[in-house]
Amino acid sequence: MTNGKQTTSVESVQRGGYIVTSIKIIALFVTVFAVAPLLAFADSTPSVGSVAPDFSLSSQEGTPVSLKDFRGKWVVLYFYPKDFTSGCTIEAHNFQRDQSQYQQKNAVVLGVSVDSADSHKQFCTKEGLNFKLLADTDHTVSKAYGSLTNLGLVKFASRHTFIINPNGKIVKVFTDVDPNKHSEEVLSSLAELLKQSPASR
């Protein structure tokens, strides 16, 4: 009888171990399938030295804006998650505050999010922004720049910035952005880049 009880105990332990193992395997598959959508748009950002992907998007004014329109100028192309949110508002205010410094450096600031042109218009009116915000409503440009965060039902632009030189090449990439001091950081990088190529002023 003792052996029978011991055998039963061993079998129970084995069954218990099998159940635990099965649960772990199921959890692994659930995790993989849950994370897969997040990686669907996890394209790498274009590398420094590569030609910046061209695009044409509507601005807050409802007019199309293309990257090629700014050939001959430095372009600060910044992606941000959403209009009217605190971090994005701070970042936009700082870019607005420094507009004269960008102009002195022959640079233009372009903001991109997946919000609509109408949302951009309201945002610009409320916050007093006069540089261009572009509506990437189909996520094409954010994806091309490796800057789309996909949470399944919700997609938004990651907080990335690209400095594009007057010849249309990416010369600086920021993927770790602090909205509070980002404009100063960009201006500092532009100053260094201009020292390296003063003819591009």
Q: Are 109 and 76 in contact (CB under 8 A)?
A: yes
Q: Which of 138, 165, 158 is nearest to 48 (CA)?
A: 165
| 85/80 Cα distance (integer angstroms) | 10
Helix, strand, coil shares of the chain, percent, nearest 5, are: 45, 20, 35
Backbone dihedral region for residue 54 (phi beyond 0: left; psi -120 to 50: alpha; all else: beta)? beta
Considering 57, 65, 67, 88, which one is annotated as catalytic?
88
Residue 88 bears catalytic tag: yes
Buried b (16+ CB within 10 A) or exposed e, 101-113: ebeebebbbbbbb
Strands lying side by side in the sheet with 56-59 = 64-66, 56-59, 132-135, 107-113, 74-79, 161-164, 170-174
Q: Give the residue numbers annotated as catalytic, written as ranges.
A: 88
